[in-house]
Structure 1
Amino acid sequence: MNPQRGFTLLEMLLALAIFALLSLAGYQLLQGSLRAQQQSQQHTQQLSALNRLFAILEQDLKHALILPNAVIQQQPAFVAQQQATLLQFTRRNWLNPQGDARAALQQVRWDFSQQTLSRQRLDDGLTLTFPAIQHVNLRFYSTGRWQDRWTSQFSLPQAIEMTLTTAHWGEITRVLIVGNGR
């Protein structure tokens, strides 16, 4: 009688079960790494948007200036408040890489409403929005002290502290230097 060669049914089922468990573990590992990559991309995009917001605001404030004719005409040259319109002012050094016919000065307004911070150019209405911001608080530095309100519409503070509250990142505070118009 010839001895049987090969695997028994029980050995085959055991090998198949081990292979299935290894495949399942590999699939779970792949799914976990894909989920982590997606979350990482989402966090990177959110952080990039916040960095972009602060970079634009920093450039705006760095180039803020008070126009002499605004003071003469008694029109507010720098508006800062804790309401829907947070900041409104004129800035210089508006980049013009294509040499378009336009002024070198630009009026900008920063608004906060419905959990969205937005920057609007008042000359052409172009608006940039930064959503998912729950709260914005401003403080103003001038003459050696911080103030919760800026009452002078015809002078600039030396710095502005902006505190943003977001659902994802919590509270973020940045201190931004305000230009002197020179």
Structure 2
Amino acid sequence: MNRQAGFTLVELVIALAIFSLIGLASYRLYEGVLITQARVSAHEQGLRSLQRALALLERDIMQATIPKEGVAVTLSAGQLNLQRVNARNPLDEPRSERQEVAYRLEEGTWWRYHRSLDLPETHKQQVLKGVRALQWRLYMDKAGWRSDGASTPGRAGVQPRALEITLSAGRFEQIRRVILLPEGS
């Protein structure tokens, strides 16, 4: 008699079951990697937005100047106000014009308002979206941290030494940054 070599039906069903289990496990692993990658990407995007916002604030603070009458950096009603100089233009030439800059939180969005002292037009720039809380404090010599006003009562013209910002945005809770004000401030 002639016997034919081959697989039985039971062997084929077992092989298909093993192959299906390996395929399902591979898919689950791949799906997990994609979900993790999406979460890491979203977290990285949030972190980059936060870093850009704080870098913009720090640049303005480092270029703050003392106006003829007053204080370099002031706080009023949760808004940070300052005057800055040395803004660069596209050709990287220094400008001598002063700018008024204000930062404030409006309905979950952190905004930057700026205008040249020579022009009446105010520009509005979105700094960061999804901000749940934003607090400012200034450090004054002999008075400590103050959350409103510019100087100690009875000591007009006292310049703040540092700015503290505390904010909650996106996945980040209670981000605190202390920025030393320039010597001239």
**What TM-score does the superposition give when structure 1 sets the normalisation length?**
0.84
| Separation in structure 2 between the aligned mates of residue 89 and residue 154 of structure 1, nearest angstrom | 14
2:88 maps to 1:79: no
* Pairs aligned (count): 175
The one-letter amino acid of 1:177's match is L
Residue pair 2:86, 2:95 contacting (<8 A) in 1 also: no
Cα gap change, 1:117/1:176 in structure 2, threshold over 3 Å: closer, same or farther?
Answer: same
Q: CA deviation at 1:179?
A: 2.4
Residue pair 2:86, 2:96 contacting (<8 A) in 1 also: no
The corresponding residue for 2:140 is 142
Cα gap change, 1:168/1:101 in structure 2, threshold over 3 Å: closer, same or farther?
Answer: closer
The one-letter amino acid of 2:46's match is Q
Residue pairs, 1:108-127, within 5 angstroms? 108-123=101-116, 125-127=123-125
Instruction: Give unpaired runs (5+ residues) of structure 1.
Output: none
| Separation in structure 1 between the aligned mates of residue 178 and residue 93 of structure 2, nearest angstrom | 33
| Separation in structure 2 between the aligned mates of residue 48 and residue 32 of structure 1, nearest angstrom | 24
Residue pair 1:58, 1:177 contacting (<8 A) in 2 also: no
1:113-145: CA deviation from partner (whole Å, max 9, x where unpaired): 111111122245141330111001111111142
Other structure's SS at 2:97 match = coil
Other structure's SS at 2:123 match = coil
Q: CA deviation at 1:6?
A: 0.9
The one-letter amino acid of 2:139's match is Y
2:43 maps to 1:40: no
The two structures, once aligned, show a CA RMSD in angstroms of: 2.4
| Separation in structure 1 between the aligned mates of residue 162 and residue 94 of structure 2, nearest angstrom | 32
Residue pair 2:137, 2:165 contacting (<8 A) in 1 also: yes
2:185 maps to 1:176: no
Identity of aligned residues (%): 32
Instruction: Give unpaired runs (5+ residues) of structure 2.
Output: 117-121
**What TM-score does the superposition give when structure 2 sets the normalisation length?**
0.83
The one-letter amino acid of 1:162's match is I
The corresponding residue for 1:130 is 128
Q: Which sits farther off after the overlay, 150-159 or 13-22?
A: 150-159
